[in-house]
Amino acid sequence: MPPIKKAKAAEPAKEESKSILRYLLSLNTNRVSLDFGPNENCRLIKIDNTPRVHEGETVKKNTFLTFAKYNSKNEIIGQNEFSFFNLDPEGKYAFDNFITQLSQLTTVANLLNPEVTFDPTEDFESEEEIVKLLSTPKGCKELQNKMFDTFSEVVSEFVGEQCPLMAVKVVTDKTGKYLQLPKEAQFCALMSEDYSFLKVTAYELKLKNAALTPSTAVADEKGAAPSQAKKDALASL
């Protein structure tokens, strides 16, 4: 009887493949969020300007930035997608919101690619030209797209694993329930530099704690008891 040939042992998977698999699995969006306050060892892992649709309606936001936090094994342990509200010609703060978005994108661009100037306003000669553009829906959309396209050209090479480690400050919205980037321009810094200025303010902490305070029913001006709708809302908490 001829000798039975032993099956050839499977070759071990390449370490590189394991790393890719761990990275792809780490991109699962059903994961832990970033923490309130400064988050260390973060990278900008994705930028996108594709409109989001929720329950059949387009979300009025643009320039989606995904920041992720890494552990000592270079594995993602938390991430969040942040964005900017669309510039609205009917709103009171279109120009202010434009300045906020421009300032924050400039901060990120300068950190990731300091050799290239990020300037989506290079074609404008005055503030008045920008204000005029922001007075129409078409102009607002044009400026939003210009900011993202210019930002993408400057930083796309440094997004993902190529992104240097950063500290990123995260706060909450006015309800204290949802995480967002702070309004200030300097909301992030390289881990290799001083980032001690990324501190939570008393006001930001107050907003966060507001979400921990249970809602209470309040009688109307006539002193009547809370409505049934209010009772039902409280019962669902």
Residue 196 structure tokens = 């001690």
Residues of the chain with pLDDT under 50: 4-10, 12-13, 29, 218-237
From the list 101, 120, 110, 118, the residue with the least C-alpha distance to 164 is 110
Closest CA to 216 of 201, 200, 230, 198: 230
pLDDT of the residue at 87: 97
Instruction: Report the C-alpha gap between 233 and 237 in whole angstroms.
Output: 7
CB proximity list for 139: less than 8 A, separation 6 or greater: 89, 132, 133
Q: Supply the pLDDT for residue 224.
A: 46
Apex 134 CA angle, 149 and 44, nearest 5: 30
* pTM of model > 0.85: no
Structure confidence at residue 229 (pLDDT): 45
> Are 47 and 26 contacting, i.e. CB atoms less than 8 angstroms apart?
no
Rounded distance between C-alpha atoms, residue 133 and residue 93, angstroms: 14
CA distance 225 to 166: 52
The rounded radius of gyration (Å) of the Cα atoms in the chain is: 24
Q: How many whole angstroms separate alpha carbon 170 and alpha carbon 39?
A: 7
The pLDDT, as a whole number, for residue 92 is 87
